[in-house]
């Protein structure tokens, strides 16, 4: 008989407790699928007395994560504490140095120290599995690392943050403001009290950094990603997008270009006909474009205790099967450096919303400035407000919304044209610009 895989779990929050519960409940199935038993033998967490709804009798309580990672009775160290630094980093390093395998859901740690940890895992023969770090139950890490090992990936992009997708969905469907939807997301537990990490795009950027490394064989470099959040999006942008056949999503995009790997996170208009446009609410999705295959879209719950725990247990099962895949699909020493691609060199279509002053020659001025930068317009919509107020009196001339969709052009050309339009004083306020991602 093969001895069972002995698991130690550091962190017994929502995910950690669910992992312990799953291993207990699914023990026979795990044994059948893995060819050996899987058993939690030790745990550690901040509070020993907190009620977690799991039976910890017969399980050793380690005094701290480092002690658990160094315990010779533990074969697989499962890190579910979170955070990009200590104590998670030292504990994982200790486990890998002792030849143990490590499973983690810690996207922040992998995005910051993944290369360093991958080298340790390769040197000492242990696995470093982190499927749950990106997209929770969506098996995108295994898809890129193993399922598409024989495919050249040209683009990977997706909805990687459920909080932002929920907010944009509510704004679109109910015509609510960003602030209203954010407040509701906080009430429902989808957004933190301080939501900036999610709504400003940084959570998506960490996940994209991991996906880009897997897809293109580059060293993880979160600093190489252009990041823009969703707080500037207005209900009128979502209405205009719908009328023009688009939907707005916060996307993380990594794409192979002639100038290198472009990595960016920002609100994006996607065609309603695309798979990614159909993904609503807190659901996540990732689309992969590769040579010789149609786009592959993976959709599922991107967060939550049960979804994340499912991915963690799947990684533990791989350890039990004695699978030792290279953490990033290639030897860490062969991962290439990547630099931040300047967004001004980005090429694509753009949605532009201007508040044009009701002055003679305004439209001609805007058209001239765009033409000077060789920007071609695919469509233009001008909305004329009702000319009378509630009392039947003529309104004073107010700025008129003008919405433009451009053909593919360079970002710096768009910025130069709009800067000139602002200097001409034919618009009020700042122009709204949203990039368009085609199928």
Say if CB 254 and CB 220 are below 8 A apart: no
- The catalytic residue among 100, 107, 142, 207 is 207
207 belongs to the catalytic site: yes
Say if CB 136 and CB 308 are below 8 A apart: yes
Q: What letter would DSSP give residue 193?
A: S
Name every residue whose Cβ is closer than 8 Å to that of residue 29 and which is 6 or more positions away in sequence: none
Place of tokens 């098996």: 139
CA dihedral over 69, 71, 76, 79, signed as positive or negative: negative
* Regions in the chain scoring below 50 on pLDDT: 387-394
Report in angstroms the alpha-carbon separations of 298 from 144, 253, 279, 284, 301. 11, 15, 10, 8, 10
Report in angstroms the alpha-carbon separations of 165 from 85, 230, 235, 268, 412. 28, 10, 14, 12, 28
Structure tokens at 20: 């312990």
Place of tokens 């967490």: 45
Read off the pLDDT of residues 307-359 as tens digits, 9 standing for 90 and up: 899 999 999 999 999 999 999 999 999 999 888 888 888 899 999 999 998 88
What would the 3-class secondary structure string for 109-148 be?
Answer: HHHHHHHHHHHHHHHHCCCEECHHHCCCCCCHHHHHHHHC
pLDDT of residue 136: 87
d(CA 177, CA 227): 22
Place of tokens 């700025």: 399
pLDDT of residue 392: 46
């Amino acid at each position: 008989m093969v001895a069972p895989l002995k698991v130690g779990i550091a962190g017994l929050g929502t995910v950690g407790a669910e992992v312990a519960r799953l291993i207990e409940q699914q023990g026979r199935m795990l044994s059948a699928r893995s060819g050996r038993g899987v058993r939690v033998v030790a745990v550690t967490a901040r509070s020993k007395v907190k009620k977690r709804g799991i039976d910890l009798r017969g399980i050793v309580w380690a005094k701290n994560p480092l002690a658990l990672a160094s315990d010779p009775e533990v074969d697989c160290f499962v890190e579910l504490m979170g955070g990009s630094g200590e104590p998670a980093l030292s504990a994982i390093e200790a486990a890998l140095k002792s030849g143990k395998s490590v499973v983690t859901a810690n996207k922040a740690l992998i995005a910051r120290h993944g290369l360093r940890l991958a080298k340790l895992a390769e040197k000492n023969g242990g696995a470093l599995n982190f499927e749950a770090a990106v997209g929770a139950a969506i098996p995108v890490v295994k898809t890129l690392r193993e399922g598409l090992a024989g495919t050249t990936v040209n683009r990977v992009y997706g909805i990687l943050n459920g909080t932002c997708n929920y907010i944009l969905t509510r704004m679109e469907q109910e015509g609510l403001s960003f602030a209203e939807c954010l407040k509701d997301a906080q009430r429902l537990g989808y957004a933190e009290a301080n939501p900036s990490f999610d709504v400003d795009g940084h959570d998506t950027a960490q996940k994209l950094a991991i996906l880009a490394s897997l897809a293109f064989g580059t060293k993880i470099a979160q600093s190489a990603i252009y990041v823009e959040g969703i707080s500037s999006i207005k209900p009128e942008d979502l209405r205009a997008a719908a009328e023009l056949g688009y939907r707005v999503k916060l996307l993380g995009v990594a794409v192979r270009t002639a100038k290198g790997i472009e990595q960016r996170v920002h609100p994006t208009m996607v065609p309603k006909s695309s798979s990614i446009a159909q993904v609503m609410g807190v659901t996540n999705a990732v689309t992969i474009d590769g040579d010789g295959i149609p786009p592959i879209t993976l959709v599922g719950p991107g967060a939550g205790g049960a979804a994340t725990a499912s991915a963690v247990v799947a990684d533990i099962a791989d350890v039990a099967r004695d699978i030792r895949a290279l953490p990033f699909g290639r030897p860490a020493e062969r991962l290439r450096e990547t630099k931040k691609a300047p967004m001004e060199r980005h090429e694509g279509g753009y949605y532009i919303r201007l508040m044009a002053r009701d002055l003679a020659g305004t439209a001609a001025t805007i058209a001239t400035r765009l033409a000077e930068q060789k920007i071609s317009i695919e469509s233009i919509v001008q909305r004329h407000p009702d000319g009378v107020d509630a009392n039947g009196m003529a309104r004073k001339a107010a700025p008129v919304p003008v919405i433009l969709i451009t053909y593919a052009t360079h970002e710096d050309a768009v910025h130069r044209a709009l800067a000139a339009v602002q200097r001409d004083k034919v618009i009020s306020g700042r122009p709204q610009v949203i990039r368009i991602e085609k199928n």
